[in-house]
Amino acid sequence: MSRIPYLTQEWLDMSTAVMEPMPPCPGATFVMQCVMTEAPGGGDVVFHRVFDDGRLLRSVLAGHEAPDVVLYSTYDDSILHLTGGLPEKVAFRSGRIRPEGDVEKLRTLTPLSRSAEYLAAVDEIARRTDFSAPSQPA
């Protein structure tokens, strides 16, 4: 299996497909935008994800005109978080992931993000990711 370069549209499509079978999380309907600062080559990588009752419907390598919540982190911290080196609770409490906007909508995903299915999916995404081939900053 070839690995997919991190934070490319192909990677976003793969991660969306891996998350597709997640159980629903009623009420978790919102648009989340992610901004990864200090990306290789300079600049930021921006993408958004659309959730409907916890189901990840789509991920797009572009900003959204009206996201409900925006998450900021450095590119390196995003890799640490995805690979398990920066646990979610630590990332948020330490400010290494900084939310803006309707944080309550983000919290509606908490039950899902703690499930065994979700954690297995995140591990699968990390296994299928090539972190050495940097994406192009926006």
Query: pLDDT at residue 138 above 70?
Result: no
Backbone torsions φ then ψ of 58, nearest 5 degrees: -160, 155
By CB neighbour count within 10 A (0-12 exposed, 13-18 middle, 19+ buried), where does 73 fall?
Answer: buried
Q: Tell me which of 59 and 135 has the higher pLDDT.
A: 59
**115, 118, 121, 127: CA torsion to nearest 10:** -80
Whether the predicted model's global pTM rises above the 0.85 cut: yes
Per-residue pLDDT, averaged over 125-133, amounts to 91
Whole-angstrom Cα distance, residue 98 to residue 10?
25
- Note whether 129 and 82 are within 8 A (CB): yes
Asked whether 67 and 31 are in contact (CB, 8 A), the reply is: yes
Confidence of residue 90 (pLDDT cuts 50, 70, 90): very high
Place of tokens 């409900």: 68
Is the per-residue pLDDT at 132 higher than 90? no
